[in-house]
Structure 1
Amino acid sequence: MDQFQDGQHVWLRSRVRGKYLYARGDGESVRLREGRASLKAAWAVHRHVGIDGVEYVLLHSAAYGRYLAATDDRAPLHLCGYRVVLQNYDQDPMEAIRWQAVNPPGAAEDDVLLRQVRHGHRYLRANGKIQRWIRGVSVDDPQNITTMMHWVVEPIPAMQGLPPLPPPTRDRHPGDLSVWLGFSPASIRTIRYVRADDDGDYPELEEVWYALHFTGRSVHRLRGLLRDELAKDDHVAAADLIMCVRAGRHGRLTPLVVNLPHHGDTFQIVLIMNGTPGVQTASRFLSCIPPCLQP
């Protein structure tokens, strides 16, 4: 467990494949990828003590905020075991997102096994040892422990400030011909948002949050829309807004500095005003990513 310090960011590299655990652009699935210079390859560590007194490691995506979770669904063809997905942290306890870091006997000192706490302690594993084109990630039963379950935890040094937003993009809208032909469909989703006070506090019950419908994925355009909404009651500049994803009622805040996932799910966003004490209050949830990582 010492490899995972609460609030830090890490990369997870497969010892055998040499590739990194990576959140895909759908915001729901994971895979292996060579490069690590992306927010989608970074994972924030959330140490959690359960009501049983046991401490667990929770890992949420630095890009989308959702938590790495095991399921009971069989993995797709060519993958061993069961599916791994990204999920919101909506209830506590939520065993699907709880992991324990175990040092495999006889392995390299910095190798870890990530053991799931549910259903017989399945382990996170890479796939494609022989069929190298396979890049899926899954969980498999303890009877099948192999070096494909060995992961190297690489700490990411923190930086001051948040990464810049990606360049503005033109979202395709439902009226575009390319959408009607089936290319690059526009994602229509509900954005539920709330503004934190100057101390960083905000109501947890989503029922009292505001809502708007948003088409597309552009984080630039979303920030502009939220700025316009807040400007109805107060003068707000776009640069003043720090948008933070809350992936479920118990999820930690994750700065939103990438374009939204392809799928049109509901997004929960907490707005923190830059320059307020609330930024410092929330700083342990806003640990930052080095500038080498591109959104």
Structure 2
Amino acid sequence: MHVRLRSRWDNPYLYAAEDGRDVSLSTDRASLNVVWRAHGLVRDGNIYALFHGAAYGRYLSVAAEKNVDDRGNEILVVGFVQRAYADPEQLDVLWTVFDQQDGTGEFLLIHRVHGVWRNPDGTNTRWTMEVVPPRENPPELPPAPPVIPLQQPLAAPMGGGQIRRAALPPPEFQRTIQYVRANHQGDYNPDELQWRTLEFYGLSVFHLRSDLARQLGEANALNITLCVRAGSQGRLTPLVIDLPADNQEMQIVVFSTGSQVSVSLLMKGVQ
């Protein structure tokens, strides 16, 4: 189930920021970054909710940092973040949804480690959940940014040839892509140690798809569909917007476009 999480403090939505780490509040209801996929998990007899972003597949979590207030006292500052889900015993992605049971449909979000989420004034944050309908048609990727020819290829495509790369965004965005090809039934080796790697420059998902198509010997990049997996325990998320503006390694599972699994994943996505 895909949802938007809306704070009743001043009515913005929980937003997975483009840096791939932060989570903020936004009024941009139309953005894919305010959509989260919710699923349940039972651990030690307790029922938890997990939320992973429809944009980048990373999980809603909390980071705590020590700081000093105006009086020189040490305080603990907590904030929402996006994280990979890499450990089956991981606690920082677990939430309890506590219904207020007052007829409003509002609830509290209680983190497994840091407790109930609070407003700036210290009161408990009350949330509402909007269910987002599935797509009616598969999405199109963002258009490719302008490209320039390069003297040296940025990746070694299968069969030779030169890869062209976008002049924008800035070249400091470089990351390792771990990838694996799924068969037509959607099965793939879950052990990322057995996956192949690609050094990728920029943020364009259009270019990433083209690069991976070359690596896999696909003549037409439209023949493949990309899903991101944020950690070994993470659920697959269709990658249909440009990459987060960071240098974090990403895990990509490549499906054949039109296969039953790829169509199912895309159509379970959101408008």
TM-score normalised according to structure 2 size:
0.83
Q: Which residue of 1 aligns with 2:157?
A: none
Question: Pick from 194, 202, 205: which aligns with 2:188?
Answer: 202
Q: Which residue of 1 aligns with 2:240?
A: 257
Question: Pick from 152, 165, 187: which aligns with 2:128?
Answer: 152
- Structure 2 residue 114 is the aligned partner of structure 1 residue 112: no
Residue 198 of structure 1 deviates from its aligned partner by: 1.1
Residue 173 of structure 1 deviates from its aligned partner by: 11
C-alpha separation in 2, matches of 1:167 and 1:30: 26
Q: Which residue of 1 aligns with 2:165?
A: none
C-alpha separation in 1, matches of 2:230 and 2:77: 26
Which amino acid is 1:55 matched to?
Answer: I
Asked whether the equivalents of residues 54 and 269 of structure 2 are also in contact (C-alpha less than 8 Å), the reply is no
C-alpha separation in 1, matches of 2:15 and 2:76: 18
C-alpha separation in 1, matches of 2:210 and 2:3: 31
Question: Pick from 123, 139, 147: which aligns with 1:163?
Answer: 139
**Counterparts of residues 1-295 of structure 1 (less than 5 Å):** 8-50=1-43, 52-74=44-66, 81-104=77-100, 106=102, 109-119=104-114, 122-127=115-120, 144=122, 146-147=123-124, 149-170=125-146, 184-231=170-217, 235-279=218-262, 283=264, 287-290=268-271
Equivalences, count: 250
**CA RMSD across the alignment:** 2.8
Q: Deviations over 1:224-250 (max 9, x none)?
A: 00111111xxx4421121100000001
Residue 47 of structure 1 deviates from its aligned partner by: 1.4
Which is strand-richer, 1 or 2?
2
Q: Deviations over 1:89-132 (max 9, x none)?
A: 000121100001002365x521110101225xx123454x7xxx
C-alpha separation in 2, matches of 1:159 and 1:20: 20
Asked whether the equivalents of residues 200 and 278 of structure 1 are also in contact (C-alpha less than 8 Å), the reply is yes
Q: Structure 2: any 5+ residue segments left out of the alignment?
A: 152-168
Which amino acid is 2:106 matched to?
Answer: D
Which is helix-richer, 1 or 2?
1
Residue 161 of structure 1 deviates from its aligned partner by: 3.5
C-alpha separation in 2, matches of 1:257 and 1:75: 37
C-alpha separation in 2, matches of 1:194 and 1:96: 27
Asked whether the equivalents of residues 168 and 220 of structure 1 are also in contact (C-alpha less than 8 Å), the reply is yes
Which SS does the other structure have where 2:117 is aligned?
Answer: strand
Residue 186 of structure 1 deviates from its aligned partner by: 2.8
Identity of aligned residues (%): 36
